[in-house]
Structure 1
Amino acid sequence: MTSQLFSPDVEQVLDLSGIFVFALSGGLLAVRKNFDVFGIAVLAEATALGGGVIRDLVIGAVPPAAFTNTGYLVTPLLAAVVVFFLHPEVARINRTVQTLDALGLGLFCVTGTAKAHDYGLGVVASIALGTITAAGGGVIRDVLANETPSLLRWDRSLYAVPAIVGSVLTALLISTDSLDGVTGSASALFAFGIRMLAIRYEWRAPRAWHRGSSNSGET
């Protein structure tokens, strides 16, 4: 099995850390949308666990890990409590939250790709599910909050692209039988680095070719 890249204890800590930070981002959006405490908890859970649940349902790993590990369900609730009481303080350290979120993105695209491969999926499908594991929760968060998903907006820095790159690297490592804790960590850090550079330099995906001239009649 390639998905067991780290020792169980280390993998548990990494998973819960990523889940906690993703949940913080969901909770903060709920506060900005003026949701009540239930809405904050729902957005925190959906953001933290949505991508992994989609992956597990697609590959047939049921019930999904999010429902068999109590820590996976409780951790987003703890993040929701933190946001509920301390959201001004959490918002002030937004740069730190973005950094930790990028780390979670890198970790989840690697473990998601590896788990999909373990369940018999091909290279392309494994890459797709690795990307979904990392970015799917954010899409669910934005849809529930009635917003255009961030990864589809041209005015937001690259998010899905780093996840895709990390997933592709992981798939290549699997195909060459080179995936282990060290190389998996390197792939996660590479995806993390791309995401941080995208934030720093506001890298964005290109829009449709000649879009400006073709829409000159718009108001």
Structure 2
Amino acid sequence: MFDSIFFLDIFGSAVFAVAGTFKAIKHELDILGVITLALITGVGGGILRDLLLGDAPPAAFRDETYFIVCIISGLAAAVLASRIARVWKLVKVFDALGLGVFTAIGAAKGMEYGLGYVGILLTGAITATGGGMIRDVLVREIPSVISRDFYATASFLGSIALIAVVSTGAEEGPAIIAAIVVTTVVRLVAMKTGLALPKVKRIPWFRGTSEDSEG
């Protein structure tokens, strides 16, 4: 089971690294920028999760396979960008699967560390979305996970599925599969239907900032 999880983790890192590369292409960054965003998107969430759990050094630093895969995937995506763009819908499907994989691995690790339900939900979401959020901040964008994409919500639902399966007395394997399936399906449905959470409306006449509410 460990080998299967490791393979899935590497797969997710590679897919997310490609997404990071296309963000670098969008902002016309140099090769170092491509590698940086590929690495951050591919392993940033897992590193952040491990640091929060006190698992140091993080898994990506203990096994350089993660870094190597992200760098190779990022550079390959940069070279083949025009071809990859033609099959972007397929890439988004793999991205949804990567989201499910990272959610399942993160939630399972949170459960392994004895966290409560909220902690498990957060470790799943941080693993799945943390790298993308850091990437977006670096290129001065509002993270898509909190502005338009149904990423975090799909991740939360996947983690809930993992908790539900484990609570029935099932082994970790079926629970991880359930989390991957639920997260991936929810994300794909959201992509297909444009499903999104309601947004708050701007108050046209209000120009205040957070400082106005501080004592």
Length-normalised TM-score, structure 2: 0.90
Q: Which residue of 1 aligns with 2:82?
A: 88
Letter paired with 1:81: L
2:150 paired with 1:158: yes
Q: For the Cα contact (< 8 Å) 2:161–2:178, is it kept in 1?
A: no
Is contact 1:170–1:179 with CA below 8 Å preserved after alignment?
no
1:160 counterpart letter in structure 2: A
Shift of 1:8: 2.7
Output the CA distance in 1 between the equivalents of 2:3 and 2:123: 24
Q: What code does the residue aligned with 2:197 have?
A: A
Q: Which amino acid is the alignment partner of residue 164 of structure 2? A: L
| Aligned partner (choices 146, 163, 169) of residue 171 of structure 1 | 163
Give the aligned partner of residue 181 of structure 1: 173
Correspondence for 2:96: 102
User: Residue 207 in 1 paired to residue 191 in 2?
Assistant: no
Shift, 1:37, TM fit: 0.2
Per the TM alignment, residue 216 of structure 1 is displaced from its structure 2 partner at its CA by 4.9
Deviations 1:53-112 (A, max 9, x none): 111001111100010112111010011111221111122221111111110111111111
Match of 2:184 in 1: 192
**Aligned-partner SS, 1:178:** coil
Percent identical among aligned pairs is 35
Pairs aligned (count): 207
8 Å CA contact 1:28–1:91 kept in 2: the answer is no
Partner amino acid, structure 2, of 1:197: V
Per the TM alignment, residue 31 of structure 1 is displaced from its structure 2 partner at its CA by 0.8
What amino acid sits opposite 1:178 in the alignment? A
SS at 1:103's partner residue? helix
Matched, 1:115 2:115: no
Q: Residues 137-158 of structure 1, C-alpha deviation per residue, up to 9 Å, x if partnerless? A: 11011111111100121xx341
Runs of at least 5 residues in structure 2 that lack an aligned partner in the other structure: 207-215
| Matching of residue 77 in structure 1 with residue 75 in structure 2 | no
Aligned CA-pair RMSD: 1.7
Q: Distance in 2 between matches of 1:179 and 1:136?
A: 27
